[in-house]
Structure 1
Amino acid sequence: MAEENEWGLRPLGPSEVNRLRGLAAAVAADLARSGLVISGQQNQYRETSAGGLRVEVDEFDDAAGGIWLHWEVHPSLRKATSEALRGQRFDDPVIASAGSIHERMASTILCMLGALGYVAEPSDDDYRPFAIKVLSAST
């Protein structure tokens, strides 16, 4: 069993990490074949990502661990939303638009995953709003 890191998190074992990475690759490939653009996985800061679906593999042994799918809007909408929030313009229509897009894309991605034979659920993680957690491939 792996030791906890300085944040109290315990990494998954190598076989479980490999299983998650394989499942994440299969999900990404199936969704790409379905027409979704898969954004770069290594772009942590997302400034240069044109948008699309980001696949995250959380490799820790806790409730937040697993495969997460995030819809990324175009940088211009991300920037406008951030500027409205920083300016405390909480009634700015761009915030509502971005939220609506994320909500609808999460619903659409859930439907697509079901059609492709995956078991998934909407996020209940406050740090991952509008994300989808992939639980397994249907057997």
Structure 2
Amino acid sequence: MFGIKRASAAEIAERNDRAGKVAEALTTAGFPVHQDENVPAVLGALVSVDPADDSRGGVFVQWLIGSSLSRAAGESAQKGEIRSPAFRHFGFVTEHMHATLIAILGSAGFQAVDADDDMNPFLVRVDG
């Protein structure tokens, strides 16, 4: 059985420190920020640390949209109604907040880029 190799304790500590600075920069810019992925009904920017010791590891940010819009967009997608107002609005907000997070973090001195994650296409990777 294969396990995911964790980064060193020093690397994880550095990531946690960077995540804290990212959260502070976003909070200072006026965004609601959360760092606990396990809290239900969280809205705004979610800053997280992945402890993996490979390209999956690092500090990440994603924008979390309200559950009613997410649910409506999901229902539209299941019905194949990708031109529905809810689906279009969800896409618009997600796409623009992704770009906004990258721009705001870049302005704050971070190297923020699209994480290139097929499972989460609007995930932002943040380096030093």
Fold-level similarity (TM above 0.5) = yes
1:113 and 1:40, CA in 2 relative to 1: closer, same or farther beyond 3 A?
closer
Corresponding letter in the other structure for 2:115: S
Q: Which runs of 5+ in 2 are unaligned?
A: none
User: How far apart are the structure 2 equivalents of 1:134 and 1:69?
Assistant: 7
Q: Which runs of 5+ in 1 are unaligned?
A: 1-5
Count of residues in correspondence between the two structures: 128
Match of 2:34 in 1: 39
Query: Which structure exhibits the higher relative contact order, with contacts defined as CA atoms closer than 8 Å and separated by 6 or more residues?
Result: 2
Match of 1:125 in 2: 117
Shift of 1:85: 2.4
Instruction: Answer yes or no: is the 8 Å Cα contact 2:110–2:127 preserved in 1.
Output: yes
User: How far apart are the structure 2 equivalents of 1:7 and 1:90?
Assistant: 39
Instruction: Answer yes or no: is the 8 Å Cα contact 2:35–2:48 preserved in 1.
Output: no
Map residues 1-139 of structure 1 onto 2, 5 A cutoff.
Answer: 6-39=1-34, 41-43=36-38, 46=40, 48-49=41-42, 51-136=43-128
Shift of 1:106: 1.1
CA deviation digits over 1:42-96, x for unaligned, max 9?
436x4x22x1000111110121110110001111111111222233333323122
Shift of 1:105: 0.7
| Root-mean-square deviation (Å) | 1.6
User: How far apart are the structure 2 equivalents of 1:88 and 1:43?
Assistant: 30
Shift of 1:114: 1.3
User: How far apart are the structure 2 equivalents of 1:64 and 1:71?
Assistant: 19
Corresponding letter in the other structure for 1:106: H
User: How far apart are the structure 1 equivalents of 2:92 and 2:49?
Assistant: 25
User: How far apart are the structure 1 equivalents of 2:65 and 2:27?
Assistant: 16
Instruction: Answer yes or no: is the 8 Å Cα contact 1:122–1:132 preserved in 2.
Output: yes
Corresponding letter in the other structure for 1:88: G
TM-score by length of 1: 0.83
Instruction: Answer yes or no: is the 8 Å Cα contact 1:69–1:131 preserved in 2.
Output: yes
